[in-house]
Amino acid sequence: MRGKDEDTGEFLGPSRSAQRREALDVLDLAKVLVELDPGRLAKLPLGEHLLPFIAQARRISSHIARKREVAFLAKQLRREDEEALDALRDALDTDGEAARLDTARLHLAEQWRERLLGEDGAAALSELMDQFPGADSQRIRQLVRNTHAERKANKPPRSFRELYREIRALLDQPA
């Protein structure tokens, strides 16, 4: 019998049902990838050779043709190694480790911004400079001043957002 060890009688590989389940999981992953917006797709750990297949599946509007193209994308995904697919699933998973780390960095950046804009902003700035020596302290001070001025004048929070982006860039730097 094919797939069975002659001596012990044990099956050597996964069953046909297990193979089918894995293929259907990859097909579901392909469907999710086709529906993602381009900004989120760019952040995923996805091979460059797969992007044209995703773009092609997006362009097709006919239901059956799109289904066929998504199946072809799934076939290309099945050629990837299991670690790459797991990393991709984790990045897509809102409860995954990558999403948790990203959310934690987001909250940390917001905390730093609030500390810098709070009563004791000078102490927070010196602590930020101690933690991130490569940070541009003059730029951060300027953004803090501009944010306070925006709040007093009831202007749109442009500097407030820019301060967040500056802090987020510091946190995203490798340690």
Give me the pLDDT at residue 93, please: 77
- Whether residue 7 is contained in a domain is answered as no
Whole-structure pTM value: 0.54
Say whether both 103 and 143 belong to one domain.
Answer: yes
Give me the pLDDT at residue 68, please: 96
Give me the pLDDT at residue 110, please: 94
Give me the pLDDT at residue 96, please: 62
- Whether residue 166 is contained in a domain is answered as yes
Give me the pLDDT at residue 40, please: 80
Contact of 3 with 13, CB cutoff 8 Å: yes
Domain end: 39, 57, 92, which one?
A: 92
**Distance, CA of 155 to CA of 149 (rounded, Å):** 8
Range of the domain at 45: 16-92
Give me the pLDDT at residue 1, please: 42
Regions of the chain short of the pLDDT cut 50: 1
Say whether both 58 and 118 belong to one domain.
Answer: no
Say whether both 105 and 154 belong to one domain.
Answer: yes
Token output for 24: 């259907």
Any residues with CB less than 8 A from the CB of 63 and at least 6 apart, and which?
Answer: none
**Distance, CA of 76 to CA of 73 (rounded, Å):** 5
- Whether residue 1 is contained in a domain is answered as no
CATH assignment of the domain containing 121: 1.10.60.30
Paired with 11 in beta bridges are 4
pLDDT in tens, 141-161: 999 999 999 999 999 999 999
Domain end: 64, 92, 120, which one?
A: 92
Domain end: 73, 92, 111, which one?
A: 92
- Whether residue 57 is contained in a domain is answered as yes
Contact of 58 with 16, CB cutoff 8 Å: no
Give the number of domains in the chain.
2
Say whether both 166 and 106 belong to one domain.
Answer: yes
Say whether both 72 and 116 belong to one domain.
Answer: no
Say whether both 106 and 50 belong to one domain.
Answer: no
